[in-house]
Chains A and B, each alone.
Chain A
Amino acid sequence: MSRYVASRVAQAFGVVLGVIVLTFVIARLIPGDPAVAYAGPRASAEELAAVREQFGLDQPLWQQFVTYITGIVHGDLGISLHTKQPVTSDLIQVMPTTLVLVGIALVFAALIGIPLGLAAARSQGTLGDLAAKVISILMVSMPVFWLAILLQIVFFSRLGWLPVAGQYDTALDSTSPLYSVIGVPVVDALLTGNWPVFASAATHLVLPVIAIAAYPIGAVAMVTRGALLENLGDEHIRMVRALGFSELSVFGRFALRPALNPIVSLIALVFAYALTNSFIVESVFNWPGLGSYAVKAIQTLDIPAILGVTLVVALLYVLLNLIVDLVQAIIDPRVRA
């Protein structure tokens, strides 16, 4: 097991190093003068020279790479051209919001997708199976930006049931001021027992979570159904049926466990998908997370911020895949071999 872990960690490290090199090369290949992007189009020649010196842009390329790597090791991802703040501190500020949003969406995806897939497998060939498949395909097919706006129009504009955007009703700031713990209102409110804000934040979570969770729900349901149906033909299933176990036990205990392998792998894949979908969802619902930050960075051609986001997303993805691989190795000893 330890050899397996070491090899996976080494692979992950290699991928991360590759991403770092690639992001540096891309940043230098993009034409244009970052000093102008920082100082503005009407900056004088002296101002531009000062900016170049400040950011080491006048150094040879190899020296810039060494500075870049050293910076990353020390957590320095440069200065955002838009916010004029260190990219690292910007990312630290926005990451928790996105992780909470995507995390809750994935939990919902598992809680809804797995039972949906299980129900479809149990009622294979029936109308129930067909309905589950149609729902899954619909959820996978709907473009997230379209779904997000549709949810707003239906549940806010037409029905008035849910808020249009934001993390909580800021009018509560005067009556129930929120103490910030991690900077995510729903979590901060829960941790500090601020129930009015928690209720408001939970309500504000509904639409963005649905928008992000839609694709994962559909994907998880379809993979669960497929994996279960594959396992149902196995000998051990025939045996437990012969021993008189209920169908619920057959599906839930004996067929589901071996089916978890592909489901767990899938969740790692849909995490990356959900993270990139959050770019759009956060923009639509005004959540100040990594997605909003990335969209603003793209709109303002903020190269350091774009690279910072790219690196962080890559790191998250590599880390999650590493965790998934290790979990799979624990669940299924065949993986370790």
Chain B
Amino acid sequence: MRTVQRLVAVIAAASLLAACSGKAPDSKPAPTNATFTYINNLDVMTSWDPATSYSNEGIATNNLYEQLTRSDPKTNKVEPLLATKWVASPDGLTWTFTLRDKVKFTTGNPMDAAAVKAALDRTIELAGGGAYIWDPVKTITAKDPATLVFDLKYAAPLDLIASSAYAAFIYDTKAVTGDLAKWFEAGHAAGTGAYVVDSWKKGTENELTLKANKDYWGGWSGVHYQSVVFKVVQQETTAVQMLQSGQGSFMPAVSSTVFASLKGAKGVTTEEAPSFQNMLAMLNTASGPLADVNVRKAVAEAIDYDGIITTVQGGMVKGTGVVPPGLLGYTTEVQPTTNAADATKLLTAAGYGPGGKKLSLVLTYAAGDPVQETVVTVMKANLASVGVDLQGKALAWETQWDLGKSTDASKHQDIFLFYWYPDYADPYSWFINLFRSATPPYFNLSYWDDKAADTTIDGLQAVTATDRPKAEQQYVELQKAISDQAVTAVLGVINYQRALASTVQGYVDNPSYGNVVFVYQLTPTA
């Protein structure tokens, strides 16, 4: 008996010791009703119509709607989404998409070929927002409920186009019998996405709330966020305090100084990744002092590119050619170089500098953008060191653009500073908009007119659709030509600096969908 008692005591003590000495049980159970709170600094929903929306609301609409395909930064390819596979004819003029089976809109109607055709036809017909991406399309045919055939006017990478963050959503055009546009603008959605609208309180702090679409084709096994709140918080300091206290999950853009202070902060994870958005200084090739290619080269070489990157403190990373990293045609064969001595020589040869003419240049940029403000300050100092007087003019965008595209060349600036980013993960938009000659100028604000480049640019989409390696080579050659002629100076690529609550797992930045968080792919933890 005493032995038994001793044994029981020993076992009890051992159990107690084991309970006290071992690690605490692994983390709390995963939350079953978690809410993801996206903190935005401006109103979220300015337009509800998936055919024409082209603004901030993309952060929400990309959770309500889906495209046929999705651009994946990890694989650098286009992945299936509402379409499971696609095939292009050898000439790139016919694309056949096979649709995912058993997918329904949140209205209950099936997402079949007829519905997809109706949605895209409407988007094309309304011709608003980013609908221009469908320009290559001649006809869309619903061959059978699961098959959609696109016949094109000219070859184009339709799989990539169909992944666009705007104007490529598939929605139910039969959601209502009346005015569909009005119905959308009243705060309704009719997509296939993982979330549906729960409430929309325009002008309030918690502007938009989404809840899980219980019938989502992707299913809800595992742990997912069950609701998404889009919170509008104008002041960064307030947003940071919310994030740190657990009242927020994600801040898409954090200023560099705050980002630095949040690294390692309790309860917060920081993420940074280069975007597809770059800052370009378009040099006037057609009139003024920069019409001389040697003067342009001097200006390009006078800029301290590394200095700019250092000064913006992580807000940008150094660019190479015109195409940002991650896109077809990205190359390191073109590198911006700083060489003040060579710049001075070129200027002297052109008749500027000591003993020669004084060179004064006008640069226009967007008022109210602190990054551009900083860059202009650095450029001013750089150019002053080689004897060039740079006058920076901060203007409202419409004014800057008005002056730039004026038919009166005397109103044109010498340097036009702005950002460019693509509507879908393809570099074509840089070249067709910024470097293809146009009269009157639209976005070609270097006024570059090169017939050989024009010919190449005009054929780029067809080549991309049929021969990607060749397209890549053409993009590289174009960038070399742009660099050789100093048409533009690539000042940097915008670096996304984001902050997340550390309870958010699974976040992967996707520059094809700027600032969009695909909440369904995340995993909430306690």
Contacts and interface: CB of A to CB of B under 8 A. Distances in A.
B291 to A, nearest CB: 26
B374 interface: no
A152 interface: yes
Contact of A33 (B128, B244, B398): B398
B207 to A, nearest CB: 9
B206 interface: yes
A170 B206 contact: yes
A94 interface: yes
Given A31-B395, A31-B396, A33-B398, A286 B42 contact: no
Interface in A237-282: none
Contacts of A157: 241, 244-245
Contacts of A300: 42
A321 to B, nearest CB: 29
Contacts of B235: 149, 283-284, 286
Interface string A21-46: 00000000011111011001110100
A156 B242 CA distance: 10
A288 interface: yes
Contacts of B130: 42
A30 B43 contact: no
Interface in B116-131: 127-128, 130
Contacts of A42: 54, 130, 132
Interface string B221-262: 000000000001111011001101101000000000000000
A30 B399 CA distance: 9
B203 A94 contact: yes
A112 to B, nearest CB: 26
A157 B239 CA distance: 12
A296 B234 contact: yes
Nearest to A157: B241
Interface stretch (A99-107, A159-167, A190-198, A226-234): A159-167
A293 B96 CA distance: 48
Contacts of B132: 42
B397 A41 contact: yes
Interface string B37-80: 00000110011000000110000000000000000000000000
Given A31-B402, A32-B402, A284 B395 contact: no
Interface in A3-57: 30-34, 36-37, 40-42, 44, 47
Contact of B203 (A40, A93, A170, A295): A93
A295 B236 CA distance: 14
Nearest to B429: A42
A152 B399 contact: no
Interface in A34-92: 34, 36-37, 40-42, 44, 47, 82-84, 90
A164 B205 contact: no
A42 B405 CA distance: 13
B401 A36 contact: yes
A298 B166 CA distance: 26
A32 B205 contact: no
A299 interface: yes
Contact of B205 (A149, A166, A284): A166
B396 A286 contact: no
Given A31-B395, A32-B398, A84 B47 contact: yes
A98 interface: no
A93 B201 CA distance: 12
B204 interface: yes
Interface in A136-190: 149, 152-153, 156-157, 164-167, 170
Nearest to A156: B241
Interface of A: 30-34, 36-37, 40-42, 44, 47, 82-84, 90, 93-94, 149, 152-153, 156-157, 164-167, 170, 283-286, 288, 292-293, 295-296, 299-301
Ordered nearest first, which 6 A-B pairs have the shortest CB separation?
A32-B398, A32-B399, A31-B399, A36-B398, A283-B234, A32-B396
